[in-house]
Structure 1
Amino acid sequence: MKKYLLLLLFVCSAVFAQNDVDINNLKWLPDSHSFWVSQNNNVAVYDVDKLDKHTTILTQQQLSESGFTGEIEDLVWNTAKTKVLLYTNSKKVWRANTKGDYWFFDLATGKGKQLGKNLDASSLMFAKFSGDNENVAYVSNHNIYLENLNTGKITPLTTDGTDKIINGTFDWVYEEELAARDGFRWSPDGKSIAFWRADASATKFHFMINSTDSLYPVVVPVEYPKAGEKPSSVKIGIIDIASLQTNWLNIPGEPDNNYLVRMKWLTNQSVMVIQLNRNQNQVTFYNCDTKSGAAKAIYKEESAAWIDVFDISSGEYDGFPCHFVDNGKAFLWSSDADGWMHIYKISSDGKSKELITKANFDAYFQAYNDKTKTIYFKASPTDATQRYLYETNINSKKTKRVTPDVFDGTNEYSFSTDAMYAKHTNSSISREYNTRLIALPGHKKILPQEADSFQAPQRDYTMEKFKVTTADGIEMDGIMAKPMDFDPSKKYPVFFYVYGEPMASVANDEPYFYPFIAQVIPQGYIGIAMDNRGTPVMKGTKWRKSIYKNIGIINTRDQAMAAREILKWKFVDSDRIAVHGWSGGGAVTLNLMFQYPDIYKSGIAISAVTDQHFYDNIYTERYMGIPGENEATYIQASPVTHAKNLKGNLLYIHGTGDDNVHYKNAEVLINELIKYDKMFDLMIYPNRSHSIYEGEGTSKHLLDTFVRFIQKNCPAGGK
């Protein structure tokens, strides 16, 4: 790494005070412990070993001279770190801005040019260098293109891409539920490309209506396989760059009844593919010959519930879930098959499997240092609301906590790619977020030079943690927020925030309460968030997977039974109990309002799944099974089934442009409430998505609607 930076003769190097390094926005370079930061489109690279100096690899002037306009949103590096691609002018695809423009810059000359000039503006996706640095490949409008960096020639590698034939990226549901966006990989030698091809021809459209942006309404189709519908037919092809011929891998199983979740090149002629079956309770690892297409199963695992191929709640996309060790002779794989999430070492031929983390607590893989043979993982053996870094040696199996005791609470780490350094962020309900750059092993602080500062959060309410045991014997963790002038001799309204499904937890040891409810707490409300069975917290497999085929049932009961215990507290006013949730939490809110009207007097549900049949197949079938195999539970779990029982004050909110939880959910619920003459409040946001933020004034209007309803129907203040 260092020798390449010395070749950048055009750059200006200067000595800066260490405090000038922006560690909050650093991004690690591949295969190193150097990182880059951009300020006003001046890109600087720092080597953590020599932080008193930095190398400016690109200046705003150089970008301007090359015709670059816009902001640097990301950098893509070649292997030698002598060339980069700049990502800019991005546009939203589904959840994220994954298409935009790419510019190529040679760092030895400082010269650059835009790629894909004859393609649509802001249409390029996932551009990356070939291993030989001769070409860049990218996706545009569902086809893969090759651009030669010397001649500028652009060659289409696929030509059949349409809205239904998707090359090099994925359909809506693969991105949403399998965290898959980038759909192609270069071979190490740059002579081949492996790519996913999804055929969504048999996938039905869900039609949304945009009635606001033109004289006549516009129909917006979204490929959306709902629960019970088969997924898109997906296969993996290998493009030979010299001949432009594609060879398809012969992976067993029906391509429209399995999921090809992840892929990684092993050698220049082999790739590993990870496949999930339709029910997502069986995973198979295949080693595939890219010339013959032959696929050999080397490892298989089954579960009575579902299998987490990756940490589904991490928010990370496209990462391969296995880390290769012992010079490629084995790989690390995480599984909770023995009752805890543990890390295993599996030989590359699948013939041997060794348990690495043996303690009786969950261990979630974070990084691996090949030099020291150290595995880093996150864990929290005694408090599921917190997170700490642990390490174990792959040979000795000795395990110890790395995070120092002073950093109690939630700890997050962003590792350098060689796992020798990390950006560490710490917080808790009693301290503000604080960040530092550390060296590993040892957790030695590199930056900032000042002593660690643990400031109390600047908020207008207090927070504390608690545990509550339900009548069913279930102990649940909770976070509680109280107004500053709380008087334990008075009775206060309680506002519950719920989610309750396997994608997220809410009772986290972090400085702030859920923002909407936090707006009203100072007026005289108690805010409470609790994690029921089925949430992805570190309490073992039984806790997390007890919700299998029980979404909408176990989580609803756990929340209600815990609330009943809380109603016994002397400072709680049982006549002023409110609940709120969004998306899956919106479904829980509706189920609580409909099934436990004696507890919850007011509720605000946003963008809720009102019928389990209406949501996508990958998520719903993973946790609920296929509808035909579990129909009675699908019905019992759906809020619309219980809508006739509404007694309290309900505000329902939804956006008509929601491509995730469709507006159809709202209209079906509305019809059911009308059928039984149930009075409720309704706020519809035209053409807004699942997050309801688009359009001038939307966020403020949503908050004001929220606050106005709760103040009217669940008055504030201790009495």
Structure 2
Amino acid sequence: MPGRQTHWSADGNAYASIEQGDLVKTDIRTGHKTPLITKDKFRKSGSDQPLVITDFAFTPDSSQLLIFTNTARVWRYNTRGDYYLLNRTSGQLRQLGAGSGASALPAQSLMYAKFSPDGKKIGYVSDHNLFVDDLATGKRTQLTTDGTRKRINGTFDWAYEEEFDCRDGFRWSPDSKHIAYWQIDATRIRDYLMLNTTDSSYSHIVPVEYPKVGENPSPARIGIVAATGGATSWLAIPGDPQQHYLTRMEWFPNTDAVIVQQLNRKQNESKLFICNPTNGSANLIATETDKAWIDGKDRWNPAGPAGWEWLNGGKAFVWVSEKDGWRHIYRVSADGKQEVLLTPGSYDISSISHIDEASNQIYFIASPENTNQRYLYRTRLDGKGKAERVTPAGLAGTHGYTISPNGRLATHTFTSYQTPPAREWITLPDHKPVIESESIAARVKPVPKSNVSFFNLTTEDGVTVDGWMAKPTNFDSTKKYPVVFYVYGEPAGSTVNDVFSVGSNNMFVGDMAKAGYIYVALDNRGTPNLKGAAWRKSIYRQIGRINIRDQAMGAKKLLAQHAYMDTSRVAVWGWSGGGSTTLHLLFQYPDVYKTGISIAAVGNQLFYDNIYQERYMGLPQENREDFVAGSPITYAKNLKGNLLYIHGTGDDNVHYDNAEVLINELIKYNKQFQVMPYPNRTHSISEGPGTSQHLHTLYTNYLLQHCPPGPR
């Protein structure tokens, strides 16, 4: 906890959820709801209001309930708050970490509380230290005492969380006697100092430990400590901790061994170690290298990197690799000596959905024929079968699945550019709706979007890119219309996917099609499409160059093909990496793009964090010229058109210094532009009353003024 998973029953045929404050069990097959705990049981002593429950978990015997409430955000997600334990027999509700005076832990400070496997203890983090509570006695044991803002036990620093999706940083041993945990040493990481100038009459500094590109990573190590307390034993994982990352760690299911994944600083070499907690020894069992980079589990598992996909009680595990040029699934023996390719062929898997050892099947998401869509497939775990599509024909688009532990039921989501997101319960492997009247096919009707179309084109460089286009309402091909390009263009995301949001722009106040705009998106090389590793990794050391070239050449080809596109009214916009792409296009190809709206952009690649930037660009100590050539400020002097630059001064991700160095460069060359700083707003620019409305109005007015809508 907090989790992103469905709360399944032990048999996998039902799930628990909070409904109107009550905890309810729903039988998936019948839809029958059974109250488990009523909201009146969630009232604290002396309060007439029940707790507002964000998440919960049961002990293995369901006798006690752990409640997560009063949450607060840590960087991206609400991962800290208060935890309460409800004894279902006695009705006692007590707060973890409570006490009198100095013995009480700070309110809203607990993180990642979870039961031990035997259900007798709870482990959690507070103020960068680990604690364990005994459920029977309520006794609290502090396992670590050296935690500070920059010495972090049981969770992670900003960079690990942002770029590896690492958050929960401790694991119970299978026998409940020990905890393995990460310790991140950020004491040598310099702070980026954000300045809060609005919350008091004097400004105050907000420090963020943030390793900029070229700075050594925060050293990480993994320790083993007894749940009853005592000294930590540290695993002796080889290598300089300032030159590698420890991105995954789990206990073996039936032994006291621990498996750890280590990535080198460039993230192009992965090593797997089996570690002995007793003596700390680390035995290397597998090494993988890549000429560019190796993606982590967070790329192919939406739930993040936690967990290890064990098979046969820990004698083997599932692994994902691109070593043959495609993202494939392998079965690997626990000693690393034997592996079997489970998904052979010239296609990528997108993610793993479920492992069903009882039926010798693994379910995964892929789309070999159309890389902008997603479907459920399955194949044999022994490698002796062929991939079989489970999603039936008839619903072309993007499908998602959350499969029950028994592999017999699943939530099925579906969307396409003509279909709003919809959900149903299905049975597997036949993919039939549990309740026919609630099936997607029976109740969801497509929304006609005759103005929206997908296409691909081949640029003058011989690169074929995918795209979509939304034409104006009452389109007249004999007229000329303005064109607005929506871009991202970096390895973290793509814009051309078969989903309902295609063709719409939530930043624009009103309807772009009715206003008279042609709206377009293209996916360049380097975006994470299911087109093979060569496509995705061609951008290595080339961010700010080949992705920009592909976008510009695609736009030129599109404009040349269609006489109804007005080349004098061409705009581009994007956020974050898309903001950087917008700047590049406006600066490097000023004869193509006349207006740009750039939000929260990296203006100088040397200002971004080391994990992301070094993964895709290398080390600036070795190839600094690539970082310079890939930074928008290098080309700012070429600005000819209209630029609106927007940034939050409290952005802990893409820091506001990016905006100021870009502004200085534009001033240097007397380039006129418009800038909008949002005080103390983060990367999402969403905080504070009126912010979103103001941002959308600003965006819309600038576009209307500098790229006027409608036919001519």
TM range (shorter): over 0.9
1:346 pairs with 2:335: no
> Equivalent residue for 1:6?
none
Encode CA deviations 1:88-138: one digit per residue, 9 max, x unaligned.
110011011110011112334443221111111111100001122221111
Cα–Cα, structure 1 residues 690 and 52, in superposed 2: closer, same or farther, change >3 Å?
closer
Taking structure 1 as the reference length, what is the TM-score of the superposition? 0.94
Distance in structure 2 (CA, Å) of the matches to 1:169 and 1:454: 44
Q: Secondary structure at the match of 2:586?
A: helix
> Equivalent residue for 2:271?
284
Task: Please report how far the alpha carbon of residue 339 of structure 1 lies from its aligned counterpart in structure 2 after TM superposition.
Answer: 1.1
Aligned equivalent of 2:464, options 468, 475, 485: 475
1:61 pairs with 2:40: yes
Correspondences of 1:695-714 after superposition (within 5 Å) = 695-714=688-707
Distance in structure 1 (CA, Å) of the matches to 2:270 and 2:137: 44
Distance in structure 2 (CA, Å) of the matches to 1:612 and 1:353: 39
Q: Which moved more, 1:311-320 or 1:556-565?
A: 311-320
1:680 pairs with 2:667: no
1:609 pairs with 2:602: yes
Q: Which moved more, 1:251-260 or 1:696-705?
A: 251-260
Distance in structure 2 (CA, Å) of the matches to 1:305 and 1:236: 27
Task: Please report how far the alpha carbon of residue 25 of structure 1 lies from its aligned counterpart in structure 2 after TM superposition.
Answer: 10
1:420 pairs with 2:411: no
Letter matched to residue 28 of structure 1: W
> Equivalent residue for 1:5?
none
Aligned equivalent of 1:102, options 83, 88, 94: 83
Cα–Cα, structure 1 residues 496 and 454, in superposed 2: closer, same or farther, change >3 Å?
farther
1:72 pairs with 2:53: yes
1:40 pairs with 2:20: yes
> Equivalent residue for 2:373?
386
1:444 pairs with 2:435: no
1:485 pairs with 2:464: no
1:208 pairs with 2:214: no
> Equivalent residue for 1:18?
none
Distance in structure 2 (CA, Å) of the matches to 1:60 and 1:502: 45
1:147 pairs with 2:133: yes
Distance in structure 2 (CA, Å) of the matches to 1:535 and 1:447: 39
Letter matched to residue 381 of structure 2: I
Structure 1: tracts of 5 or more residues without a match? 1-23
Cα–Cα, structure 1 residues 33 and 351, in superposed 2: closer, same or farther, change >3 Å?
farther
Task: Please report how far the alpha carbon of residue 70 of structure 1 lies from its aligned counterpart in structure 2 after TM superposition.
Answer: 3.4
Cα–Cα, structure 1 residues 35 and 554, in superposed 2: closer, same or farther, change >3 Å?
same
Q: Which moved more, 1:290-299 or 1:693-702?
A: 290-299
Distance in structure 1 (CA, Å) of the matches to 2:147 and 2:227: 18
Taking structure 2 as the reference length, what is the TM-score of the superposition? 0.94
Cα–Cα, structure 1 residues 492 and 650, in superposed 2: closer, same or farther, change >3 Å?
same
Encode CA deviations 1:213-240: one digit per residue, 9 max, x unaligned.
0110010000000100001111000011
Distance in structure 2 (CA, Å) of the matches to 1:354 and 1:691: 43
Task: Please report how far the alpha carbon of residue 84 of structure 1 lies from its aligned counterpart in structure 2 after TM superposition.
Answer: 2.1
Distance in structure 2 (CA, Å) of the matches to 1:500 and 1:447: 41
The two structures, once aligned, show a CA RMSD in angstroms of 1.9
Distance in structure 1 (CA, Å) of the matches to 2:186 and 2:474: 57
Letter matched to residue 589 of structure 2: Y
Q: Secondary structure at the match of 2:358?
A: coil
Distance in structure 1 (CA, Å) of the matches to 2:302 and 2:710: 38
> Equivalent residue for 1:10?
none
1:598 pairs with 2:591: yes
Q: Secondary structure at the match of 1:515?
A: coil
Aligned residues of 2:458 and 2:554 also touching (Cα < 8 A): yes
Task: Please report how far the alpha carbon of residue 153 of structure 1 lies from its aligned counterpart in structure 2 after TM superposition.
Answer: 2.0
Distance in structure 2 (CA, Å) of the matches to 1:30 and 1:171: 35
Letter matched to residue 474 of structure 2: D
> Equivalent residue for 1:13?
none
Aligned equivalent of 1:643, options 620, 636, 643: 636
Correspondences of 1:484-633 after superposition (within 5 Å) = 484-512=473-501, 513-517=504-508, 519-568=511-560, 569-633=562-626
Aligned equivalent of 1:168, options 144, 149, 154: 154
Task: Please report how far the alpha carbon of residue 245 of structure 1 lies from its aligned counterpart in structure 2 after TM superposition.
Answer: 2.2
Encode CA deviations 1:370-400: one digit per residue, 9 max, x unaligned.
1111111111111111111111012332211
Task: Please report how far the alpha carbon of residue 155 of structure 1 lies from its aligned counterpart in structure 2 after TM superposition.
Answer: 1.8
Aligned length: 694
Task: Please report how far the alpha carbon of residue 570 of structure 1 lies from its aligned counterpart in structure 2 after TM superposition.
Answer: 1.7
Q: Which moved more, 1:86-95 or 1:457-466?
A: 457-466
Aligned residues of 2:41 and 2:50 also touching (Cα < 8 A): no
Task: Please report how far the alpha carbon of residue 413 of structure 1 lies from its aligned counterpart in structure 2 after TM superposition.
Answer: 1.1
Distance in structure 2 (CA, Å) of the matches to 1:323 and 1:208: 40
Q: Which moved more, 1:596-605 or 1:447-456?
A: 447-456
The percentage of counterpart residues that share the same residue type is 48
Aligned residues of 1:204 and 1:225 also touching (Cα < 8 A): yes
> Equivalent residue for 2:118?
132
Cα–Cα, structure 1 residues 530 and 157, in superposed 2: closer, same or farther, change >3 Å?
same
Letter matched to residue 669 of structure 1: L
